Chain A
């Protein structure tokens, strides 16, 4: 039997005198991290009053978010309609500009510098020696 690790022990093999290779230990640690054993959070014990208070808070927040989203959808609809009417007018006024405005925007990219806003400014606030990528390439 080749390739089998034998543990030679004094007396019966048990948890106390077992030895594990570092590789086995590493894999076991990984398995422990993956398993959910003893990692479940404790169930919050809420009395009846606190349960209703919690429900009130979460319901209010849910309805508030729904209202915000509904208002946002209304604004988007307004924007869409204003674009539509503007394009209808432009079609009548100037057909060249209309076709330019109606071209497919494939290849359009948002600026990379337009990063997702953060609470605090970046470590380097202003890049004094900034050159855009296209200009740098030409040089």
Chain B
């Protein structure tokens, strides 16, 4: 064991690797100088922690004594490890530039991404930003993506799948989903709060089309996405069953790690026409005495640019599985909400020049 300790003392102490931003992105450090000081040199006894804003609580706080020498040793040790990882990354980058085989290149890129994560994931500044300053997260950095993905795995992903499964969106629309992207949805003029999957939304909220954010955790490279909103609960009186209706479709939407918003500023041109729409937005207009209707938002990754023939969308029963297969789409994310009849539905129908809704009655056979 002593031999191993001796080895570290002969290595040049790279105690400033994470303070050097010449080769690394500046987003990996903390911008607030006071906060950085408190994190790396210790909470000042006179001022108190920077993170606590309340003055009384600031004064009351007592830091654990004796942390600083331990922290400095730990910090140096972690930077030494990161230094070795960066050297390995350089080697892999050289290999990537030399290879031509696409499969080998993909494997090397995956390895490089893993190393990029491990080189920065133990950086205290990165950890602080990931944990406590989510607004400063720069998703072009692998370490930040890693922490964001961890957080999503522990809550958002499970919540989404729970809702999709219990409300039978799977398998009533697509057969199943392996979620890879974090999809959030917001209806404008609704107080600007993200929709919880499966929530009941008022028809006045859903009158205007929503805006999405698609957070990709892998490194993106001009990836195009398709977004479809389908309603599998449109009643079909003739067959005494339900049809699936396509309420909105967007194709060839360009999303990257950092540019995650899918809203009108991105999609509409100078005249206000949405070039990505394959069919105009049809708002939820549930009919009276029906059970609630589910609205599933499916986010697909496209293999290439897609040109959709609007003729096939005129079918009253939209087959989403067939649509995905013909256009080479892979489902990577989803969302959902529910709607039921309320007193604003008729106003929404008038606004969109839709026919008057039917009133259903229970019919005993």
Contacts and interface: CB of A to CB of B under 8 A. Distances in A.
Contacts of B122: 56, 59-60, 63
B64 interface: yes
A78 interface: no
Nearest to B37: A49
B24 interface: no
B39 A53 contact: yes
A10 B99 CA distance: 98
A52 B127 contact: yes
Contacts, number: 72
A68 interface: yes
A104 to B, nearest CB: 32
A50 B64 contact: yes
A21 interface: no
B8 to A, nearest CB: 9
A57 B50 contact: no
B51 A45 contact: no
A49 B70 contact: no
28 contacts: A46-B64, A47-B51, A47-B52, A47-B63, A48-B131, A49-B35, A49-B38, A49-B49, A49-B50, A50-B49, A50-B63, A50-B64, A52-B124, A52-B127, A52-B128, A53-B124, A54-B67, A55-B127, A56-B75, A56-B78, A56-B127, A57-B67, A57-B74, A59-B74, A59-B78, A60-B77, A63-B78, A67-B4
* Chain B interface residue bracket vs A: 20 to 34
B360 interface: no
B155 interface: no
Interface string A29-70: 000000000000000111111111111110111011001100
A117 B363 CA distance: 87
A68 B52 contact: no
Contact of B67 (A44, A48, A50, A63): A50
Interface string A62-105: 01100110010000000000000000000000000000000000
Contacts of B81: 63
* Chain A interface residue bracket vs B: 20 to 34
B352 interface: no
B61 A47 contact: yes
A49 B67 contact: no
Nearest to B35: A49
Contacts of B78: 56, 59-60, 63
Contacts of B73: 60
Interface of B: 1, 4, 35, 38-39, 42-43, 49-52, 61, 63-64, 67, 70-71, 73-75, 77-78, 81, 122, 124, 127-128, 131-132
A48 B48 CA distance: 12
B1 A53 contact: no
A63 B118 CA distance: 12
Contacts of A48: 49, 51, 128, 131-132
Nearest to B77: A60
A49 B131 CA distance: 11
B128 A45 contact: no
B4 A71 contact: yes
A47 B74 contact: no
Contacts of B51: 47-49
B43 A49 contact: yes
Specify which of A51, A55, A57 lies most central, judged by the most chain B CB atoms within 10 Å of its CB: A57
Contacts of B39: 49, 52-53
A20 B308 CA distance: 89
B270 to A, nearest CB: 46
A79 to B, nearest CB: 15
A71 to B, nearest CB: 6
A76 to B, nearest CB: 14
Contacts of B43: 47, 49-50
A68 B1 contact: yes
